[in-house]
Structures are given as structure tokens and as C-alpha cells.
Amino acid sequence: MNPIPYGKQHITEEDINAVIEVLKSDYLTQGPTILAFEHAFAQYIGAKYAVAVSNGTAALHLAALALDVKDGDKVITTPITFAASANCIRYCGGEVVFADIDEETYLLDIEKVKKLLEASPKGTYKGIVPVDFAGKAVDQEAFRELADEYGLWIIEDACHAPGGFFIDRNGDKQLCGNGKLADLSIFSFHPVKHIATGEGGMITTDNEELYKKLIKLRTHGITRETSLFENTPEFACGTESEVYPGWYMEMQALGYNYRITDFQAALGLSQLKKADKGLQRRVEIARKYDNAFKDVAGITSQLNELTNEHSGHAYHLYVIQVENRLGLYNYLKDQQIFAQVHYIPTHLMPYYREQGWKEGDFPIAEAYYKRCLSLPMYPSMTDEQQNYVIEKIINFVNS
């Protein structure tokens, strides 16, 4: 059996041809393919606006900047996430406050967040960064109500969940990142994600003001929109004039170069056409794992409350918990199966230990970390490969 990774990209001839077409065009960056990708992604997610950027971390950073995170601002997030979900707040000088996860869903526990908010005067906290971990949608409706009560903004980290959703109290489907509940939502296009562009990210929102800020901050804080110019046409021209010259632009804020390229956008646009098919395959793989492990003592999987044919889970990851995680990891590695761990609790990374966090702060997250293992999950995984993975896991657990 060839090596089986926990995740990988699936690139087709159509994808390759889309990239080649852009490479032969006049625009490698700041061209029309980026705008086409943004429009198509916004439509897919159900949001009014989308801003493509260089990676998911850049998306998080720009989101925090657009929401004016500044020195001392306290923001709540989960310890079970990639570090960037917290780091984006630190980049802006804010203070990250973690809250524990739910034992069954592995998502940020809203009851723990409520306790933090209730224990401090209103205004102490500025925002919340819930994460759709592994592809399971956070109940953004509940978080929105809580955020509104305390005057907080929400950045939804939906990197794991394009196409994922939850059912709101009216029985309506709410897609992750659709702009209806979170102020800003962010996505990643890393190769192991649902849509791959090599590196790349996207921010979605329904808020026009935030959208315009993101566009400016993405490119050094520069605008070329004449209606927004602050200097006079006379200054811009260097002589008496009532009209701005064609070369003129203004840097109005301290922004960054967080642009994506047109050939990356071409790959993303091509991948987006197959996103639903890829998601369907992920769900099929997850169902097979569910059925294989449901009666196996010693294996616990992430809770899914919904029982319809598509649970709303986008299955970026399929996570199990086992007692002897290290033993299983090494055994699978010997069998050419390369599982992974998601995640080392962020609050116990050395950088955050220096901020005062310590072992014992979040017992559920820490207990989860000791037992969690992400199994191979990607659309091009064959039935033969999955059967092999299942067989080896059951052999180990029963030995």
C-alpha cells in the first residue's frame, strides 16, 4: 500500500489548464481572475462580499485590523485551533482570553464564554473568534445573540468548513461564513483544505463598510478611488487642477501586501466548481468511518446531532479519540498511514505560556489533546485505502 496522508490536494487537468491560461494572460496579479474568484466564492457561501488574500492567517489579521482591534482589547477564542486564530489578535496588540471546549463537539463552549462575560463589567471584552473545528459548524445564532448582548463583534474562523452549515431556530440552513451572523468570516485555501490554491485565503461579510476597509488594508492601505481622496487635485497634479491625474493614489492607512495572485485565483475558481462533489465524498468517507467504529469499544468520534443525509459537517477532518493515541499513531505510521493531531492546545504553546496560561486551565481541551487523532480524509481517498485504514485501526484497538 502506498503512503496514505491525513489530507492532500486533488488537482485535475481542468485545474492545470485554468492556471496555464492565466499564466499566458496579461495579468499575473491584481487582475480580473481575482475578482471573478471573489464573486464566485461569495455566491457559493451566500455572502454579499468576499475579499481574496494571500493565506488564511492574513485573512484573520486583516479581519482583526478591520474591526479595529488595538492594544489591550480582550478577545475570546478556543484553545483547540491552529495558533493563527489567536495570533491575529496579538498581531494587533490585543489580549487573547481562552475558554474551554465542549466535551462532545470539540467546539468553543458557549456556556464557558458566558461565564467569562458575566464575571466582568460590560465593555471588558471586545470580540469572539469561534472556530468551525474539523468542519463542524458553530451555532453562530447563539453566539450572535450573546455578542449582541455584550456589544461584541464576531470573527468566524471557517477555514475547515466551506459548505458546512447549521440549522437555525427557524429551521433554515445557515452556511458557514454566509455573512448573516458573524461580522467577518475567514477561509483558507491551503492544499489540505476543501479548495486548494497552494496558499490563499478569503474573508466574507455582508457589511459594506468592513468590505471597503478590507480592500484598502489588503494593499498597503492604498486607495485609487477618487471619491475617497483626502489630498487636493492641485497637490496630486503638482500644478493647478480640478481633476486628479491617472497616476494618483493615496495610502490612507497602515496596510499590508496580503494580495493573492491571479494564477492562484484561477486554481481556486476551478477548484470551486468541484467543491460540492468533494464535500459529498468527504461525507461518504465520514459515514464509512462512523459505521466502522460505532460498535468498537475505545474509539470516540466527534458528536453530530443532525441525522439527515448531510449533517452540516464539512469534514475537513475526521477526528477520533483513543486511550493509547501515541501507540496508535506510531502503529499506523509503520503501516504507511500518516495520521495527524489537531491540535496541540494553543494556550500551552510556549509563547502563550509566557502570557500566563498553564496546564490545568482548560481541562476538557487538555484531556481531548491527550486522546485525539485525525484520520486520513480527502476526496481522492479510495475505498481500498479507507478499508485498509479501518482494518489497521480496529486491529490495534482490539489487540
pLDDT higher than 60, residue 369: yes
If we measure between CA atoms, which residue out of 86, 81, 63 comes closest to residue 184?
63
Tell me the CA distances in angstroms from 235 to 216, 225, 246, 334, one per residue in order: 22, 16, 13, 69
If we measure between CA atoms, which residue out of 398, 385, 377 comes closest to residue 9?
377
Q: What is the pLDDT of residue 303?
A: 74
Query: Residue holding cell 493515541?
Result: 325
Q: What class has domain 4-222+253-274?
A: alpha beta
Query: Cβ-count burial of 170 within 10 angstroms (0-12 exposed, 13-18 middle, 19+ buried)?
Result: exposed
305 or 177, which is more confident: 177
pLDDT digits (tens, 9 = 90+) for 96-113: 999 999 999 999 999 999
pLDDT digits (tens, 9 = 90+) for 283-323: 999 999 999 999 999 999 887 655 445 579 999 999 999 99
Tell me the CA distances in angstroms from 104 to 52, 75, 109, 129, 281, one per residue in order: 33, 24, 10, 19, 24
pLDDT digits (tens, 9 = 90+) for 191-218: 999 999 999 999 999 999 999 999 999 9
Which of 2-16, 74-88, 288-302, 346-360 comes out lowest in average pLDDT?
288-302
Same fold, 4-222+253-274 and 276-398: no
Query: Residue holding cell 466582568?
Result: 120
User: What is the pTM for the complete model shown?
Assistant: 0.97
If we measure between CA atoms, which residue out of 188, 150, 170, 130 comes closest to residue 9?
188
Q: What class has domain 276-398?
A: alpha beta
44 φ/ψ angles, rounded to the nearest 5 degrees? -65, -40
Q: In the chain, what are the domain boundaries?
A: 4-222+253-274, 276-398
Q: Tell me the residue type at 282.
A: R
Q: What is the pLDDT of residue 82?
A: 99
Residues in CB range of 205: below 8 A, 6 or more apart: 47, 48, 49, 179, 183, 184, 185, 211, 214
Q: Pick the catalytic residue from 126, 136, 193, 213.
A: 193
Q: Which residues pair with 320 in a beta bridge?
A: 301, 373
| 193 flagged as catalytic | yes
